Chains A and B, each alone.
Chain A
């Protein structure tokens, strides 16, 4: 008999304790709300800032971007990618010379002379696993994730949804025809 009433008492008291907690949360919603009204508000909000100082120290995982003017076509990023989402094609050209027809600059911003013409640099962002492995080996630091410490080079972009899956393949190299490439690489005899 005593156990019977103890059980009833325990049930009632613990259930009411639970209700008191939810009540407390309900009346303190203005202080306790953690909702972000997404399209209007975005994460890092100043009042919720947990020390996300972009200039001082930051790392970021977002869309990959390549500065083609700096790319020397070394294929290091393609090799290190665990999911093979980077596809690069290169052609041998004269070292360090600009070829304006195919949008090729001879010298990178670091002063390296380029010996390869990159005719295809595709990143399939549907396959990308955002592991950041490709950005470390790059000798020219031309492949990077947008935003964060790179925001002066490219604004942050992590909402790149598309209606067509093919639009998720980002083609960074300038579109070139086979003829242009042949001229640029001097395969058809007339060296430019």
Chain B
């Protein structure tokens, strides 16, 4: 949407369509990157504070700039980021140098380009493709390639274990996530992100907003399956077996340090946002207000989208600091014996519901 809008603004767009398109895309990439960076700082701060509060401590605190971490520790994520940037960049001598350098960027690209199709508001979406949902599902699985590369190229047994676990896990959990999204697509009849959200206007059951999660019991279940599979795709606890700091030291990222490690970190948080964003757009009405008709302008749309997404991210943080980690085979059985059968039943149920009731 923004891309089309910008191209329309440029008078000579018709003469050099390719050049203009590429430059506009680059122009759009800069704010997206900045958004990820700022959001990651906020999310790291939130994670620090939420985890501390749950553990009966206060987390990063301080009296002012220069003393500890600023007021309420607000400078802590910036200090963390600076530390990671300034750290020595170590590449093991026995590592596969090219792949080792390439891996963090591939992981990050997977999360980064998914952002292009996220509908932040009625007007703010980098590109409203007619296959938006499909696009996100496709490109977000690029991350697993980077993790496998990282694990393989590090030439370290722990990394290899992490990479293999990660591959098995992410590929498995994409199935229930995809199957739950199919239900959404069946109801809305479109793959475009804006189309899916626009379908969710108005009321359902009289009082509830017409979000897909409320439309019938099967979609309600679908949301949780999608969300938990998404948590697994982000490698977050209780599904953090590729990192598993008490077993695999740091899993696939054991040999990484400094900025390269920061990229993995950043993409983990960016992935969390993508999962939350897709869940919000697909099930929680995207930028729609919880009270239909009230506070519906595009500005409020951004607010609703962000607050819903951040709430889901808070849920992920909450999971992480409450639950233990699953074992690798249990992880698989949860996916294949638990989520996938339920997801199939859901598709069937949603279809029946649509046929019979609505």
Contact = CB atoms under 8 A, between A and B. Distances in A.
Interface stretch (A15-23, A75-83, A153-161, A179-187): A15-23
Interface stretch (A25-33, A103-111, A139-147): A25-33
B299 interface: no
Q: Is the interface of A mostly helix, strand, loop or mixed?
A: helix
B294 to A, nearest CB: 28
Interface in A39-76: 40
Nearest to B341: A4
Contacts of A23: 54, 318
A25 B55 contact: yes
A40 B61 CA distance: 11
A3 interface: no
B53 interface: yes
A177 interface: no
Contacts, number: 37
Interface residues of B, number: 15
A126 B321 CA distance: 38
Given A18-B323, A19-B318, A19-B322, A25 B61 contact: no
A26 B54 contact: yes
A37 interface: yes
Interface string B319-338: 10111000000000000001
A33 B56 contact: yes
A131 interface: no
A15 B334 CA distance: 15
A111 to B, nearest CB: 51
B318 A22 contact: yes
Interface string B36-68: 000000000000001001111110010100000
A35 B49 CA distance: 13
Interface of B: 50, 53-58, 61, 63, 318-319, 321-323, 338
19 contacts: A8-B338, A15-B322, A18-B322, A18-B323, A19-B318, A19-B319, A19-B322, A22-B54, A22-B318, A22-B321, A23-B54, A25-B56, A29-B53, A32-B56, A33-B58, A35-B57, A35-B58, A35-B61, A40-B63
Interface of A: 8, 15, 18-19, 21-23, 25-26, 29, 32-35, 37, 40
Given A19-B319, A33-B58, 15 more contacts: A18-B323, A19-B318, A22-B54, A22-B321, A22-B322, A23-B54, A23-B318, A25-B54, A25-B55, A26-B50, A33-B57, A34-B56, A35-B58, A35-B61, A37-B58
